[in-house]
Structures are given as structure tokens and as C-alpha cells.
Chains A and B, each alone.
Chain A
Amino acid sequence: MVNLLSTGILIVALAAGEGNAIKPEAVTVSMVAVRATIEGREEKHFDAGLEAIRKAVADLPYDTYRKVKSSKTPAPFDQETKIGINKEYSLYVTPLAKKSDGRIRMKARIEMQPKDEKKKAINTHVTTALLKPGKKLKFCGGMKADGGELVVIISIED
């Protein structure tokens, strides 16, 4: 009986194998928010501390990137973690699972609080993505910020 039970457990364990996702306690979400504008520069300008995103935004049409906020925030799995950007915008992330190849399945949304407080907050971006640690995911469009566009770049730290 014990042997049969052991065999059953072995089958379940092997079947679960690496096909299933595992859940560590939390991941660290790195976020950089910039105000991107077109100012007619010959060379693109990046504020200090934005070197890390230079290549990630190389495809965008803007020539000036001003830092709004950067942060590294631990985000527990299956919990929505708020990462404030500025008064208007907040990033919410919910890590869901870690795949066997190391990627993290995560829900993310950017919520905009209208200046008119009577209006209801809306999500400018809502996504579910498989994020490879160290690789970037950026949110563009639909987010105005002081005469420019808000661009939010997130990544999961290795």
C-alpha cells in the first residue's frame, strides 16, 4: 500500500515537473518613468540616471527624456502592488507566476487619476505579460505629462 502510494506521489511529482510554474515570495520590479518631449535637438537628451533606458527608448520619436521617477519595488506574488509615478499616474503590478524558463507572468496597469476629482480613475494601460528578467517593457501613449508624454519602463530584476 505504501509502495503504491509512493508510486502515485512520484507520478504526480513528475507530472507536475517543470511544466508548472513556481511561485517565489516576491520579485523586484524596477520602474523608470520619464517625460518625453520633442524639442528639436540634434542629439537626444537624457537626464542623469536615465542611461539604463537609452537603448530601450531608441525607437521612440522623442528627443528629450526627463526623469519623473525611478524606483525598485518588491512585489509579492498574487498581490497588487502600487508604485506611484506622480500625482496623476500610478503603476500597479501583480506578479502571478514564475515560469520554468525564468520568466514572470505579471499583470500590470497604469491608472490615471483625472485632474477633475469628480471623474473616475481610468486605466490607460492594462496588460498581462511574460517578462524576462532584465528585459524591459515600456508603456507609451495615452499619458500626458506637463506638455510631454509620460513613458513608463518596467523590468524585473534578475
Chain B
Amino acid sequence: MVKCRWMPSVERWFDDEQCRQESVAQHVAQCAICGEYLAALHKLRHGAEAAAFPERIEDTQFPAFMDGIRRRLEPAGRRHGGLWAFASVSAAAMIAAVSMFLVFAGRPRDVTATVVEEATTEIEGATVTVEEWYSSDGDTATIWVHVPEKEVW
């Protein structure tokens, strides 16, 4: 497209902006490029005005229109995010509790006999042995103190 340096001034004159109106009008009358450009601007404006279609709400649409507005104005339905969060925390706590219970409690022990955990003596030179004696009435643990020949009493 061939351009003229007056074209920006023509645009401002077309939009009724403050500019050198007489000189622009005089130039447009003499310049074919700017004349065509002004005609194109007019054509564009008429086209835009023709395409513009103001939205209108018909009477039959009005109840639905207001209903939409009312729905937006009504408070949002109650959300249950807090309840779900608490339920999640409770479930996690229960899982942790059950896990800890299983770890600490373990399974019932099968070994329930008498068990000597430690056995010592203060008799000098003596040694201690622990023996398990299994008899018909059950197990009996024995703590034996073996004293050397030396009289300690």
C-alpha cells in the first residue's frame, strides 16, 4: 500500500482530534492517497456501525435472566472440606495407632515359662549356674551356687 506522511494526521482528523484541520482537509482534497485512505476509514466505520447489534432482553427472556442473577447472589452451598480433613486426620491417626499397637504388643508369646534373667552371688570365688528342670508338674528353674572348697562361712 502506498503511504503518505499525512496519513496519521488524516486519522486524527477523522477521529475529530485536535489537529490542523484546515491544512489536513486541504491536503486530502489534493492527495489521492489520503483521499482513498479517508474513504476507506469511512467505509470501515460504516461497516462497524452496521455490524454492531445491541443486545436486548426480550420480555420472554427476562424471568430466566433474573433467575440467573438470583442464583449468583444466593450463598454458595455449604462445603464439607473441614469434615473431610478431620476424617482424613482421624483415619491416619487410627492407622498409626493400630500400627504402634501391633509393633508394641506383637503376637501372644508362646514362651511363658519361668526365666532367670540374671543370677549372681557375693560369695568369693563361687560361680553360678542356672538350670532348667522339666518335671511332670512343669518346669522348675534352679540357681546353683558352686562354692570352692575353701570355707567361706
Q: Footprint of B on A, CB under 8 Å?
A: 3-4, 7-8, 10-11, 14-20, 55-56, 58-59, 100-103, 105, 112, 114-115, 122-132, 134-144, 153
Contacts and interface: CB of A to CB of B under 8 A. Distances in A.
B145 interface: yes
Contacts of A114: 153
A15 B145 contact: no
B100 A7 contact: no
Interface residues of B, number: 45
B143 A58 contact: no
B103 to A, nearest CB: 8
B50 interface: no
B109 A101 contact: yes
B149 interface: no
Chain B binding surface, main DSSP class: mixed
B121 A142 contact: yes
Contacts, number: 139
B122 A126 contact: yes
Contact of A128 (B117, B131, B137, B153): B117
Question: In the complex, which of the residues B114, B117, B118 has the most CB atoms of chain A within 10 Å of its own CB atom?
Answer: B114
B31 interface: no
Given A14-B98, A129-B141, A140-B143, A56 B135 contact: yes
A135 B126 contact: no
Contacts of B139: 135
6 contacts: A103-B112, A126-B121, A132-B112, A135-B139, A137-B143, A144-B153
A140 B144 contact: yes
A93 B86 CA distance: 51
Given A15-B100, A127-B143, A137-B142, 11 more contacts: A19-B105, A56-B135, A101-B112, A114-B153, A123-B121, A129-B116, A135-B138, A137-B116, A138-B140, A141-B146, A141-B147
* 4 nearest A-B pairs in the assembled complex, by CB-CB distance: A142-B145, A19-B104, A141-B145, A15-B100
A98 to B, nearest CB: 13
A102 B86 CA distance: 39
A30 B23 CA distance: 130
A127 B117 CA distance: 7
